[in-house]
Structure 1
Amino acid sequence: MERGKTKDETLSCFGLTMKITLISPRIAVQKGDFFGSGVPYWPIELAILSAFLRDRGDEISVIDLFGSSPTTLEEVDDHYLQGKPFESFTGTPSVAKAEMFILFALSYMAHREILSIARTLKGLRPDITLCVLENSYAVTAYSIPQVAEDFFQSGVYALLCGEVYWNWDEILEFLKNKNIAKIPENVLTPVLPKDYKIKRKINKNPTYPIPEWDLFNLKNYWSIPYSHGPKTKQYFPILTSRGCPYSCDFCVVPETNLRQWRGRAPEEVVKEMIILRDRFGVRHFQIEDLNPTVNGARWEEICRLLIEQKAGIFFYFVSGTKAETIQIDQIPLYAEAGCRYISISPESGSPNVVKAMGKSFDHTHGLRLIEACHKYGIYTQACFLVGHPSESPEDHRLSCEYLRAMVCSGLDEVAVFVIAPFAGSLLYKHNSIKMTPSTMLTSFSPKGREGWNELSRRRKELVRIFFTERLKRGAGIWIQGIRALLGIPRTKMENLPRRIMFIYSLVLKYYIQRLLTLK
């Protein structure tokens, strides 16, 4: 929908409503590594799409496999799948009565799970319209055209690429009349040539409906002792913008968003927060934008509106943001408005590696930002990557030195990942990174990556440096440990102890049940 247009002008219905079932997969947890997988990302796009389709008059059902039962675990090769198996839903009206299924490609780590669901659905309902919706708002996602053959061989008919709100009527007309209607530019089907180039739809001034979170099991998401950001008792993820203008070669977003950033109006963002606050009693919001502060003035206005309206809301930049887009002198404004956490991504302490990645980072500004946040009570995270094809031992040494400097400036936590070849990234397209064997889970730190032992050593060295430097700075790290054990985290790192205990309790429960079944 475009600003300035009424709902009736923007949306046209076809007279007959449809029964559409939206499906979100289980979450993959790599064995022995809780840093690069297993994060409980909420299917935000499905909640927004549900509201959009309901507004049209469609009858919507949601099957959220993770959210339905995050205490259920199943072993699959080198990882676990967390959530209720799809087979548990095959006899429900959501499956039996649906006229269309839309599977959400939530994460590249869930790719095989999505294919399995597609095959099951095709076996149950061979004539049903089966679509896959791309996740275009997350770095953990993937470009679904890059693996189109996987989907088509599993029975999927249409890949819905990017955002579908801007030409949904055209998409629906095609899906209802496949033999005569024109194929929309942002839809890929098996009948198109293999070299066909899809064209994702980008609306530069977007507005979205309030997500239909009532269709999801919120209590289950809130009941687990961890989240993507620092875990609070109740919280919502929110998207205040879409896309990213940068061209990092390890990231899928340049392809899924065409390097176009789109910010929602400050008034709309604050309105959504307040509506959800009043409807659900939630005051904590995890900002899941790819790059929320590209337009710094926009977020400054959001802060002013939150202050003016005395919203009593707290927000956390959990997916990272471009450090240079936040002005140091505006940190007091962010803090007053309720900002409690900012994640930034230097990726490397080496300017050469950062340049080779296709991005830029002002290392001096990063230190000043960390220092200012520390002063005003905003907790900070820095994300580093090891294993870029251009990285040398000297580049790694520079990362170690820069991390030390960040800790001295007041950094609260670090996250270190081993670069992985996610479908859609330039590194994937150029086959720059090898997986051995290729059947292993491609996580945010894949154990199947060539050279894993050396890359794991570099990763551990950075983590060790962080803790060593923090210990030198007094009691802060011990206070973080106490908060972690008490379940009152202020950083993602403080989620880990309870998260590890929770997952291992599920693993133990799974193996006990399997032994009892064998007996």
Structure 2
Amino acid sequence: MKICLIRPPILCPKSHPIVQMTPPIGLAYVAGSLRDAGYEVTVIDGLAESFDTRHNWGEDCYLYGLSIEQILDGIDETTDVIGVSAAFTFEWPVCRELIKQLRERFPNVRLIGGGEHITALPELSMEETPLEVGVLGEGEEIVINLVKAFEANETDLSKIGGIVYRNEQGDIVRNERHNRIRELDDIPRPAWEYLPIEQYLDRGFGFGVTRGRSMPVIASRGCPYQCTFCSNPKMWTTRWVVRSVDNMLDELEYYQKTYGAQNFDFYDLTAIVKKTWIVEFCEKIEQRRMKFTWQLPSGTRSEAIDDEVSQLLYKSGCRNLSYSPESGSPTVLARIKKKIKTEAMLTSLRSTVNAGMNIKLNIMFGFPGETYKEIRESFKFICQMAWAGGHDLSIWAFSPYPGSELFDQLYKEGKIKMDDAYYDDLRSYSDMSRCKSFSEHIDNKTLMRLRWLGTVLFYGVGWLRRPWRPFRMVWNGFTGRHESRSDLVITSLLRRMKLVKKSKEAG
């Protein structure tokens, strides 16, 4: 069978300083499984195949990449199965429109979708689109089972775990979940050869700070914690599984030889859970005499990172990592089930800074029930993190993500309506010019001001303690040498200004 997988173009608010252009590693994994199963696979990357093109989407957003019409034109007419990746809920309006037009253009093709949005909202995703099947959770094994059923012309899909589908009567049916993949070493490597990966590598695009030719990798899946704002339990369950160190390093070595990779961005939800694993990983990098930089841009737990581990991380090439304490208020941390201790976090932060790494920190304001007193506690913690040496801080507005405990709670209370305004609000989670508060004690405008105040406090205290940093940041931003997230923001703003100028000249 001929199978075409599609990564849609990305939506980004016009006010955002950074357009996150990252290789679609989930889609590459599914393509790798299909490749190794012997199927003919093509992949259309709706972003990378036209990085510098943007289209207006409504009044406030740009659509970066190929137009929907260009994607349709790029599909072979003899394709049997089309799979669409719906990775992020805030991009669902684009995915939804793409799926509708795919069905109109290819009425007889088997049309499937997958990703975190469809996993979190399977019935709604089916109701809003002409999808035939939705894949829930990890897709590598499920997609193979599904394609085999298509090959055999099976009409009864009730025995395939991990899908939502329309039965012969047209009813939407959700099957039981497919078992989690426990042996990550056995999963085929991502099929980057089917994607324009060189486009990302040549531009240094990735999830982390730009440090040369950056490849995305995953060492573990799942997270053992159950934070109420996170959709991880729905997508991955709370089982944390990790690859063997040698299997991980073999893949990195392959990418160095094949693609000239210089840096690796780990997309793990929680990469460092077991101290023994990360110590072995760092030590074997040295034993193999491998030279590269690597980053943990998604965030990681601090419990296993002490002075010893910090030194090993830096020596092995780790230059950037993120901590996500989310709040400095013990009351809020307990309410959102974020099992951290702020003092322990500060101790770990000092260790990583002293070792030479650049640290980004993430805080959220606007949780349901959050009070001014709790915000003040977070302000104090923000100042402590700045004084301890944190390099960058993002203060996000809490956004109820489908699949999370808080989303379910707010939806039941009638505080969320699943319309396009909701998706617009999700896209504004990092927008410092607007945000929506879900706290009954703090209104939208006040929340925006509090985010600005917290940001000013962090950089003010940090630069007072280390006055050379702002000058270095500006220099790095203009020269394109990135060490911290702030450097990347400056370069992205300059790139965006050039793109605006180019658009005006062309138009």
Question: Alignment partner of 2:393: what SS?
Answer: strand
> For 1:193-212, what aligned pairs fall within 5 Å after superposition?
196=174, 198-207=176-185, 208-212=187-191
Does residue 449 (structure 1) correspond to residue 425 (structure 2)? The answer is no
**AA aligned opposite 2:23:** W
Residue-by-residue CA offset, 1:446-480 (whole Å, 9 max, x unaligned): 74625432221111111101121122122123212
Q: Percent identity?
A: 21
- 2:225 alignment counterpart: 246
1:194 Cα deviation from its structure 2 partner: 5.8
1:108 Cα deviation from its structure 2 partner: 1.4
- 1:395 alignment counterpart: 374
- 2:424 alignment counterpart: 440
Distance 2:245 2:113 in 1: 31
Distance 2:267 2:342 in 1: 24
Residue-by-residue CA offset, 1:209-248 (whole Å, 9 max, x unaligned): 2222222223322354754211122110110111111111
Residue-by-residue CA offset, 1:316-372 (whole Å, 9 max, x unaligned): 011000111323322111111111111011100001111111121121121112211
Residue-by-residue CA offset, 1:36-84 (whole Å, 9 max, x unaligned): xx32232101112222211111111010011111111111122111111
**AA aligned opposite 2:489:** L
- 1:404 alignment counterpart: 383
- 1:306 alignment counterpart: 285
1:391 Cα deviation from its structure 2 partner: 1.4
Residue-by-residue CA offset, 1:250-274 (whole Å, 9 max, x unaligned): 1111111111111111111111000
- 2:481 alignment counterpart: 488
Q: Which one of the candidate residues 31, 34, 42 is aligned to 1:53?
A: 34
Provide the aligned length of Structure 1 versus Structure 2: 488
- 1:88 alignment counterpart: 70
Residue-by-residue CA offset, 1:279-316 (whole Å, 9 max, x unaligned): 11112001110000112211211111111000002110
**AA aligned opposite 1:63:** I
> For 1:43-192, what aligned pairs fall within 5 Å after superposition?
43-77=24-58, 78-92=60-74, 94-135=75-116, 142-176=117-151, 177-191=153-167
Structure 1 pair 144–168 and aligned structure 2 pair: CA distance change class (3 A): closer
Question: Alignment partner of 1:159: what SS?
Answer: strand
Distance 1:42 1:24 in 2: 10
- 1:500 alignment counterpart: 493
Residue-by-residue CA offset, 1:8-35 (whole Å, 9 max, x unaligned): xxxxxxxxxx211010011221121336
- 1:357 alignment counterpart: 336
Contact 2:206 2:216 (8 Å CA) reproduced: no
1:434 Cα deviation from its structure 2 partner: 4.4
1:376 Cα deviation from its structure 2 partner: 1.4
Q: Give me the CA root mean square deviation.
A: 2.2
- 2:451 alignment counterpart: 459
Contact 2:118 2:134 (8 Å CA) reproduced: no
Distance 2:373 2:157 in 1: 57
Structure 1 pair 437–211 and aligned structure 2 pair: CA distance change class (3 A): closer
Question: Alignment partner of 1:75: what SS?
Answer: strand
**AA aligned opposite 2:2:** K
1:180 Cα deviation from its structure 2 partner: 3.6
Distance 2:183 2:487 in 1: 37
Contact 1:159 1:188 (8 Å CA) reproduced: yes
**AA aligned opposite 1:456:** M
> For 1:287-326, what aligned pairs fall within 5 Å after superposition?
287-326=266-305
TM-score (normalised: structure 1): 0.89
Gaps of 5+ in 1: 1-17, 136-141
**AA aligned opposite 2:73:** G
- 1:380 alignment counterpart: 359
Structure 1 pair 389–323 and aligned structure 2 pair: CA distance change class (3 A): same
Structure 1 pair 200–386 and aligned structure 2 pair: CA distance change class (3 A): farther
Distance 1:438 1:277 in 2: 42
Q: Which one of the candidate residues 318, 336, 342 is aligned to 2:321?
A: 342
Residue-by-residue CA offset, 1:410-454 (whole Å, 9 max, x unaligned): 111111111112211122211265479436252234746254322
**AA aligned opposite 1:438:** Y
Structure 1 pair 439–46 and aligned structure 2 pair: CA distance change class (3 A): closer
Question: Alignment partner of 2:184: what SS?
Answer: coil
TM-score (normalised: structure 2): 0.91
**AA aligned opposite 2:253:** I
Contact 2:46 2:71 (8 Å CA) reproduced: no
Contact 2:9 2:67 (8 Å CA) reproduced: yes
Distance 1:484 1:179 in 2: 56
Distance 1:455 1:203 in 2: 41
Contact 1:188 1:198 (8 Å CA) reproduced: no
- 2:410 alignment counterpart: 431
Contact 1:145 1:188 (8 Å CA) reproduced: no
Distance 1:210 1:226 in 2: 20
Question: Alignment partner of 1:321: what SS?
Answer: coil
Q: Which one of the candidate residues 192, 197, 221 is aligned to 1:218?
A: 197
Contact 1:348 1:385 (8 Å CA) reproduced: yes
Distance 1:158 1:47 in 2: 19
Question: Alignment partner of 2:458: what SS?
Answer: helix
1:152 Cα deviation from its structure 2 partner: 4.1
Distance 2:68 2:451 in 1: 36
- 2:464 alignment counterpart: 472
Contact 1:354 1:361 (8 Å CA) reproduced: yes
Distance 2:156 2:130 in 1: 21
1:507 Cα deviation from its structure 2 partner: 3.9
Structure 1 pair 428–475 and aligned structure 2 pair: CA distance change class (3 A): same
Distance 1:290 1:417 in 2: 18
Question: Alignment partner of 2:299: what SS?
Answer: strand
Contact 1:160 1:188 (8 Å CA) reproduced: yes
Contact 2:219 2:268 (8 Å CA) reproduced: yes
1:168 Cα deviation from its structure 2 partner: 4.5
**AA aligned opposite 2:295:** Y
Structure 1 pair 167–227 and aligned structure 2 pair: CA distance change class (3 A): closer
Q: Greater shift after overlay, 340-349 or 371-380?
A: 371-380
Distance 1:168 1:80 in 2: 31
Structure 1 pair 291–458 and aligned structure 2 pair: CA distance change class (3 A): same
- 2:440 alignment counterpart: none
Distance 1:180 1:143 in 2: 21
Structure 1 pair 108–505 and aligned structure 2 pair: CA distance change class (3 A): farther
Structure 1 pair 437–49 and aligned structure 2 pair: CA distance change class (3 A): closer
Question: Alignment partner of 1:201: what SS?
Answer: coil
